[in-house]
Amino acid sequence: MRNPLSETIVNIKPSGIRKFFDIVSEMKDAISLGVGEPDFDTPWHIRDEGIYSLEKGKTFYTSNSGLLELRQEISNYLMRRIHTSYDPKKQCIITVGGSEGIDIALRAMLDPGDEVLIPQPSYVSYEPCTILAGGKPVIINLKAENEFRLTPEEILDACTEKTKVLVLPFPNNPTGAIMEREDLEKIAKVIEEKDLFVISDEIYSELSYKDQHVSIVEMPGMKERTILINGFSKAYAMTGWRLGYACGPEEIISQMTKIHQFCIMCAPTTSQYAAIEALKNGDDDVAKMRDAYNQRRRFLMNAFKEMGLECFEPYGAFYVFPCIKEFGMTSDEFATRLLKEEKVAVVPGTAFGDCGEGFLRISYAYSIDNLKVALSRISNFIERLRSEK
Amino acid sequence: MREEILRVIEKNSRIETKELAVRLGLTEAEVVEEMQAMENEGIICGYHTMINWENTTDEKVTALIEVKVTPQRGEGFDHMAERIYNYPEVQSVYLISGGFDILITIEGKTLREVSQFVSDKLSTFESIVSTATHFILKKYKDHGTIMTKKHEDERQIITP
């Protein structure tokens, strides 16, 4: 029999996050600080709308782009939050999570050989999705000394004649880094100069703790060359509903819709009805969850300070990214020993790119009580490591 | 700052001021000072413990009593409310709108104890027109806390 598999897909290596969780699931008393999804349930009024839509028999497909009412609410929301107007009929598509948006945006924009700039450490899907779309990933290694923000120099250094797309993953998973207005202004100039297109993954936009989130599309000339990706998973604790959206120039959105209609048809109908309620009446819930995350973030940062563990202050998402270079171990070794000796699971920074070496991703999508136990174990562990030296 | 402090201690009054300060990005001195001020101003009126008595061996009966009152000249309902809330077995007293006037929650050891309170004490007041007593059979949620189930982390392993 011939080899049934595509060489392209076989050569893509599986995500590195999984390994630790497989161990955790078999280990009694292990505490995980590894999960990248909210620990809250979807607010009840949103769930209730989903249930109500089922009771009413709204179990049909929606149009390919999604319910117009939902796209209208998204358009209102974006105007309210980032002061940018999108035509709900032509510049918006409802996707199955932000992940689908990333995939179809890349597929709609890339020809074989086109280069995609991917800043790392970042979410693990950009690279494989680029390869699957026939593009060539070009990694930008973000630096701890810049608090893992992207600088115009880094873009220029990575650009070639074939560079077409820049992925902009802020607020960032796994570092918690954000891009403030000044940072965005600087890179916008370079993006225009090099005639790049941007896929701005703003799934964590509501989880910004410094000032309100600023989007690249707010910079002059950027809306015309940006696909904005967002969704309901993180802001409204709706991960399981699988719902996101992409907004951008009609020219690109219409081609994305073509891909979407052939492989997905439309996003889940129940989720779309629930999402309308989320956007209409969910601002308070988002604020409450943001406050809770922010308290945990401050709590963690303070605990690291007391332990003497080096960590820049992250202002976004629900991750902190402490540096463990002082212990002379790789991230993988550190995480493995921490799990074996103290039964705390964290994700090695290297799961998000080679430049994550020497760092750990710690999620604070956990209750304070949970964090307290985990932190005291981490503290014991690093005390022991220091005394071994 | 006050509202933030209140929101946390409303759910957890045992939190240490140091931790509270860290979580809210304040200094411990600020938190202590602000809490003291709110105690003095009658904003913070006590620090209670949520107890699910059903899970203890203690026998306890709780009832809600609706009371209809003829308001008294010059005093409205306040005088009547005071006479009711002075009984130690009375847990809470509210003046409310709707079909009756005052809602009482009362705790006793037995059904008889509660009904004796109604027949011997409450109904003897001249200005009380009528009462209706509802015994609580099960508490599902109290002070925003769901009593009947524990929340477990059911999040699954997923990558990326």
CA A71, distance to chain mean position in Å, is 21
* The pair of three-digit structure tokens given for residue A375, joined into one six-digit string: 């932190």
Same domain, A60 and A148: yes
Contact A296 B8 (CB under 8 A): no
Residue B102 lies in a domain: yes
Residue B149 lies in a domain: no
The enclosing domain of A227 has a CATH number of: 3.40.640.10
The enclosing domain of A326 has a CATH number of: 3.90.1150.10
**C-alpha–C-alpha distance, residues B107 and A363, integer Å:** 44
- pLDDT over 90 at B154, yes or no: no
Per residue in A120-173, pLDDT (tens digit) is 999 999 999 999 999 999 999 999 999 999 999 999 999 999 999 999 999 999
**pLDDT of res. A199:** 98
A126 touches chain B (CB under 8 A): no
Range(s) of the domain holding residue A326:
7-42+284-384
**pLDDT of res. B142:** 87
Q: How far is CA B45 from CA A53, B6, B13, B38, B128, in A?
A: 44, 12, 12, 9, 29
Same domain, B88 and B34: no
Residue count of chain B: 160
Contact A22 B157 (CB under 8 A): yes
Exposure of A269 in the CB half-sphere (CA atoms within 13 A):
13
The DSSP line for A20-87 is HHHHHHHSTT-EE----S-SSPPPHHHHHHHHHHHHTT--S---TT--HHHHHHHHHHHHHHH-----
The DSSP line for B58-95 is ---EEEEEEEEE-PBTTTBTHHHHHHHHTSTTEEEEEE
Q: Which residues of B touch A18 (CB under 8 A)?
A: 157, 159
Same domain, A228 and A84: yes
- pLDDT over 70 at B145, yes or no: yes
Q: Which residues of B touch A302 (CB under 8 A)?
A: 22
Mean per-residue pLDDT of chain B: 91
Residue A389 lies in a domain: no
Same domain, A134 and A60: yes
Contact B157 A37 (CB under 8 A): no
Same domain, B59 and B130: yes
**pLDDT of res. A381:** 97
**C-alpha–C-alpha distance, residues A263 and A95, integer Å:** 11
Please give the residue of chain B at the shortest CA–CA distance from A23: B157
Please give the residue of chain A at the shortest CA–CA distance from B5: A295
* The pair of three-digit structure tokens given for residue A125, joined into one six-digit string: 């899907």
Range(s) of the domain holding residue B29:
2-40
Q: What is the value of pTM for the model shown?
A: 0.93
**C-alpha–C-alpha distance, residues A207 and A221, integer Å:** 26
Residue A37 has its nearest CB partner, among B4, B23, B155, at B155
pLDDT band for A176, please (50, 70, 90 cuts): very high
| Structure-token match 């916008």, residue found | A188
Residue A274 lies in a domain: yes
**C-alpha–C-alpha distance, residues B125 and B129, integer Å:** 9
ipTM associated with this complex = 0.86
Neighbouring CB atoms inside 10 A of B120's CB total 9
pLDDT band for B160, please (50, 70, 90 cuts): low
A291 touches chain B (CB under 8 A): yes
Residue B143 lies in a domain: no
Number of domains in chain B: 2
- pLDDT over 90 at A14, yes or no: no
Per residue in A299-339, pLDDT (tens digit) is 999 999 999 999 999 999 999 999 999 999 999 999 999 99
Residue A2 lies in a domain: no
Same domain, B6 and B67: no
Contact A299 B19 (CB under 8 A): yes
Given a contact cutoff of 8 angstroms between Cβ atoms, the answer to whether A296 and A283 are in contact is no
Number of domains in chain A: 2
Percent of chain A with pLDDT over 90: 94
Report the run of H or E that residue B93 belongs to, with start and end.
strand B90-95
**pLDDT of res. B149:** 74
Residue A1 lies in a domain: no
* The pair of three-digit structure tokens given for residue B23, joined into one six-digit string: 């979580």
Mean per-residue pLDDT of chain A: 96
Same domain, B33 and B59: no
Of A30-34, A280-284, A299-303, B36-40, which range is least confident? A30-34
Q: Which residues of A touch B153 (CB under 8 A)?
A: 39
Contact B25 A18 (CB under 8 A): no
Paired with A167 in beta bridges are A199
Given a contact cutoff of 8 angstroms between Cβ atoms, the answer to whether B13 and B36 are in contact is no
Same domain, B21 and B63: no
Same domain, B65 and B92: yes
pLDDT band for B157, please (50, 70, 90 cuts): confident
Residue B112 lies in a domain: yes
Give mean pLDDT, residues B72-93: 90
Residue A153 lies in a domain: yes
DSSP SS3 for B21? helix
Same domain, B36 and B58: no
Residue B23 has its nearest CB partner, among A14, A124, A295, at A295
Same domain, A177 and A99: yes
DSSP SS3 for A163? strand
Interface probe with B: pick from A210, A298, A306, most Cβ of B within 10 Å: A298
**C-alpha–C-alpha distance, residues B105 and A74, integer Å:** 46
Given a contact cutoff of 8 angstroms between Cβ atoms, the answer to whether A78 and A86 are in contact is yes
**pLDDT of res. A13:** 86
pLDDT band for B34, please (50, 70, 90 cuts): very high
- pLDDT over 70 at B52, yes or no: yes
Q: Which residues of B touch A291 (CB under 8 A)?
A: 4, 7
Smallest CA-to-CA distance from A187 within A156, A144, A159 is with A156
Per residue in A16-75, pLDDT (tens digit) is 677 777 777 778 788 989 889 999 999 999 999 999 999 999 999 999 999 999 999 999
Same domain, A302 and A260: no
